[in-house]
Amino acid sequence: LSINQVLTLKLDKLGYNPEPEYSPNSIHQMFNTGSPEVETCEFLYSLVKLQKPHRILETGTYAGLSTAYMTQALKDNGREGSYVRSLEMDNAILEEFAKPLFDKLGLNSHIVLDFQDCNTYIPSEIYDFMFIDDSIQNRCSEIQRFTPSLSIGGLMVIHDMHNNFGLDPNFG
């Protein structure tokens, strides 16, 4: 088993059971309707393992599943001082889902949780990797606002960016 498959099994033992995605004819699985697909989380793990970033910025922690995969990859990379800074504006979600998950998985030493709206967050450092996954209405403004804080050679991954959500077709 790969490390990310082991993490998926750990989550399964904690009661996070993947189910088919809610969209018709989907071939993907989800832990819940608010988190990225299982396959997306595993892909994020692989990208972080490959790129070996020092600092990651994530918007939209929600239940913390994508955060957990990226953080596990950081730990597995062994870069001292590396961390994921994750922004979430719903403190109740953080307290009920994300924080207990990070405790159970032993990931807290590599996570900085910011109870903050991504629309008001001003980065004070450069990030090597960004995962943009807050409210779909914020995608375009997040990309514009956070790109200057992405390191040269850094990677920005954007989740759920398609016209079905009424995004501005003239964004560019």
pTM of the model: 0.85
SS3 string of the chain?
CCHHHHHHHHHHHCCCCCEECCCCCCCCEECCCCCCEHHHHHHHHHHHHHHCCCEEEEECCCCCHHHHHHHHHHHHHCCCCCEEEEEECCHHHHHHHHHHHHHHHCCHHHEEEEECCCCCCCCCCCEEEEEECCCHHHHHHHHHHHHHHEEEEEEEEECCCCHHHCCCCCCC
pLDDT of res. 85: 98
pLDDT band, residue 58 (cuts 50/70/90): very high
pLDDT band, residue 161 (cuts 50/70/90): low
Residue 69 has pLDDT above 90, yes or no: yes
Residues 56-85 have a mean pLDDT of 95
Residues 109-160: tens digit of each pLDDT: 999 999 999 889 999 999 999 999 888 778 888 999 999 999 999 999 998 7
